[in-house]
Amino acid sequence: IETWLSRKEGIQPSALKRSIQTIADKYLSMVRNEKGLTKALRELRRIEGEMLPQMSAWAEDPIGRAVNLRDDIEADGKMELAKMSATAAMYRKESRGGYYGGHYRSDYPSRDDNNWLKNIILKREQGAISCYTAPPVMEG
Q: State how far the Cα of 25 lies from the Cα of 71, in Å rounded to an integer.
A: 19
Decide: helix, strand or coil at residue 110: coil
Is-above-0.85 flag for pTM? yes
pLDDT at 112: 95
pLDDT in tens, 100-110: 567 889 999 99
pLDDT in tens, 55-71: 999 899 999 999 999 99
Beta strands of the chain (E only): which ranges? Answer: 31-32, 96-98, 101-105, 119-125, 128-134
pLDDT at 40 over 70: yes
Q: Side chain identity at 55, as an amino acid letter?
A: M
Using pLDDT thresholds of 50, 70 and 90, give the confidence band for residue 99: very low
Under a CB-based contact definition with an 8 Å cutoff, are residues 27 and 73 in contact?
no
